[in-house]
Amino acid sequence: MRWTGRYVGVIGAGRAGRAIARALRTLQARVMLSEARALTVWTGVQGSDLRREWGGHTDALWNTDALIFSPGIPPLRHPLLRHLRQRKPVYGELDVVAPTWEGPVAAVTGTNGKTTTVALTAHLLRRPAAGNIGPPLGETLFRSGPFVVELSSFQLHDVHVAPFHVATLLNIAPDHMDWYPSHEAYVRDKFRIFQDQTPEDYALLSVELRDEVRGAWQDLPGTRLWIGDLPGIQIRSPDTFVVDIPSRVHLHLTSVPDPFGLRVFDTARAAAVLTALLLRVPPDRILRQLQSFRPLPHRMERVGVWNHVVYINDSKATNPHAVAAALRAAEGPVVLLMGGLNKGLSFSSLAPLIQRHVRHLIVFGNAREEIARTFSALSIPMDVVPTLDEAVHLAVQVARPGDWVLFSPGCASFDAYTDYRHRGHAFKRLVEAYHA
Q: End-to-end CA distance of the chain: give it in Å, rounded.
A: 59
The Cβ of residue 377 has, within 10 Å, a number of other Cβ atoms equal to: 8
Cβ(144)–Cβ(125) under 8 Å?
A: no
The Cβ of residue 105 has, within 10 Å, a number of other Cβ atoms equal to: 23
What angle, 0 to 180 degrees and rounded to 10, lies between the N-to-C axes of helices 283-292 and 266-278?
Answer: 140
Residues 6+ apart with CB under 8 A from 14: 70
Distance in angstroms (rounded) separating the CA atoms of residues 372 and 365: 11
Helix, strand, or coil here: 205? strand
Give me the count of residues in the chain.
Answer: 436
Please tell us whether the domain made up of 301-434 is placed in CATH 3.40.50.2300. Answer: no
Of 216, 193, 187, the C-alpha closest to 92 is 193
Distance in angstroms (rounded) separating the CA atoms of residues 161 and 98: 7
Write out the H or E segment, with its range, that includes residue 223. Answer: strand 223-227
Helix, strand, or coil here: 294? coil
Residues 6+ apart with CB under 8 A from 421: 297, 298, 315
The pairing of beta strand 240-245 with beta strand 249-254:
antiparallel
Write out the H or E segment, with its range, that includes residue 19. Answer: helix 15-26
95-292 folds as UDP-N-acetylmuramoyl-L-alanine:D-glutamate ligase (3.40.1190)
Of 362, 379, 325, 370, the C-alpha closest to 345 is 370
Note the pLDDT of residue 260. 95
Write the CA distances from 254 to 186, 245, 266, integer angstroms: 38, 17, 15
The Cβ of residue 419 has, within 10 Å, a number of other Cβ atoms equal to: 14
Note the pLDDT of residue 211. 84
Distance in angstroms (rounded) separating the CA atoms of residues 51 and 30: 8
DSSP 331-399: SS-EEEEEESB--S---GGGHHHHHHHEEEEEEESTTHHHHHHHTTTSSS-EEE-SSHHHHHHHHHHH-
Helix, strand, or coil here: 59? helix
Cβ(11)–Cβ(77) under 8 Å?
A: no
Write out the H or E segment, with its range, that includes residue 53. Answer: strand 50-54
Note the pLDDT of residue 219. 87
Question: DSSP letter at 295?
Answer: P
Distance in angstroms (rounded) separating the CA atoms of residues 300 and 295: 9
Please tell us whether the domain made up of 7-91 is placed in CATH 3.90.226.10. Answer: no
Q: What is the pLDDT along the chain (436 residues), one digit of tens a residue?
A: 789 999 999 999 999 999 999 999 999 999 999 998 887 556 556 666 789 898 999 999 999 999 999 987 876 667 888 899 999 999 999 999 999 999 999 999 999 999 999 999 999 999 999 988 889 999 999 999 899 999 999 999 999 999 999 999 999 987 777 778 888 998 999 999 999 999 999 999 999 999 877 777 888 999 999 999 999 999 999 999 999 999 888 999 999 999 999 999 999 999 999 999 999 999 999 999 999 999 999 999 999 999 999 999 999 999 999 999 999 999 999 999 999 999 989 999 999 999 999 999 999 999 999 999 999 999 999 999 999 999 999 999 999 999 999 999 999 999 999 999 999 999 999 999 999 8
What is the identity of the amino acid at 259?
P
Domain ranges for the chain: 7-91, 95-292, 301-434
- The predicted model scores a pTM of 0.92
Note the pLDDT of residue 78. 79
What is the identity of the amino acid at 120?
L
Q: From the centroid of its chain, how far is CA 340? A: 18
Distance in angstroms (rounded) separating the CA atoms of residues 210 and 225: 11
Note the pLDDT of residue 38. 84
How many Å is the maximal CA-CA distance in the chain?
Answer: 67
Strands of 309-313's sheet in order across: 301-306, 309-313, 404-407, 334-339, 358-364, 382-384
